[in-house]
Structure 1
């Protein structure tokens, strides 16, 4: 089991699931989880009018090429910048290989004037929230526990146990690097 030592004791997948279980929100089609950063489902992703109403400029699809998930730059045209990741919501898929690419895409978009990012998978619960957590950790220097606590206050999210383990490993790596070089 992957774990990392946090300020309040041992952080592992069970502890993260306990935090996720504290969420009392109903699952909605889309929620703003960080300033100008939205997580939502595939129905919103396929509704360009709804995305325009939200002011979205960039779309990150964590279910690229999956059945029911239309998405490529041709579909979005010039109105949105698109990035797709063909991820499976499974106990075997290594989503961590996409953490930096996704975080870079989100970060670059949010730095643009009026940049707003919509991150989705099919339901907007597991893959998309995992990539948003990776962004918060990599670009906003947030610890995993704080990221999860932040998201559950804004959206009903629940990364699968495999993704939680990958996020725990990222959290541990980042903490080791920051101890060695505090300005990172």
Structure 2
């Protein structure tokens, strides 16, 4: 059963949320609860998976996928592209990312999050996000979406996705997500403070 409640209120009754250290975030992956299927639903109508599922049109059709986000796009990676799906009526978005800790994936966080958000708000929209294995590049973009559009903290997003699919973003991506978490947390604090000052 997937949870659809808002996660922003969970920390309000306790001490203010602070982004954990990178080493503490990595420990969250020790608690395995998800699966390692070719694709898994990790949020309502949002699926995360691997290259096999991306190339299996029958699989995508069976899940009624309407949008595909390829986080390993490019000639020498998973070179599907919009033309590959032309007979499926699927909207395609490609991100040319490398699963390397030195690669700056953060430049794609907002574009990818907005693509997922818009797709999920399309009538009947179902989104499949993938890379080669569905554990690092694509998982990082799904986490960014949950943080940006669903107001989750990084810890909440990690626990949510990892409970449905075993993921493990590389240390560079996790560090970039941590920076995003700090930025979003500061923005939320600012909004809360301005709200509390209003008469």
Q: TM-score, normalised by structure 1?
A: 0.91
- Rg larger for: 2
The question of 1:86 aligning with 2:96 is answered: yes
Aligned to 1:140: 150
In structure 2, how many angstroms separate the alpha carbons of the residues matched to 1:109 and 1:10?
A: 29
In structure 2, how many angstroms separate the alpha carbons of the residues matched to 1:88 and 1:68?
A: 9
Q: TM-score, normalised by structure 2?
A: 0.85
Which stretches in structure 1 are left out of the alignment for 5+ residues?
A: 1-5
In structure 2, how many angstroms separate the alpha carbons of the residues matched to 1:58 and 1:146?
A: 25
Aligned to 1:28: 37
Residue of 172, 177, 180 corresponding to 2:182: 172
RMSD: 1.9
The question of 1:70 aligning with 2:79 is answered: yes
Contact 2:19/2:178 (8 A) holds in 1: no
Secondary structure (helix, strand or coil) at the match of 2:180 reads: helix
Aligned to 1:160: 170
Aligned to 2:111: 101
Higher alpha-carbon deviation: 22-31 or 154-163: 22-31
Aligned ranges 1:1-40 → 2 under 5 Å: 7=16, 11-40=20-49
In structure 1, how many angstroms separate the alpha carbons of the residues matched to 2:115 and 2:137?
A: 15
Which stretches in structure 2 are left out of the alignment for 5+ residues?
A: 1-14, 195-199
Q: Which has a greater percent of strand?
A: 1
Q: Flag the 1:104–1:92 CA change in 2: closer, same or farther, 3 A.
A: same
Aligned to 1:48: 57
In structure 2, how many angstroms separate the alpha carbons of the residues matched to 1:37 and 1:86?
A: 20
Secondary structure (helix, strand or coil) at the match of 1:65 reads: coil
Secondary structure (helix, strand or coil) at the match of 2:37 reads: coil
Shift of 1:108: 0.2
Aligned ranges 1:113-152 → 2 under 5 Å: 113-152=123-162
Q: Flag the 1:136–1:153 CA change in 2: closer, same or farther, 3 A.
A: same
State the 4+ residue runs in structure 1 displaced beyond 4 angstroms. Answer: 6-10
Q: Flag the 1:83–1:9 CA change in 2: closer, same or farther, 3 A.
A: closer
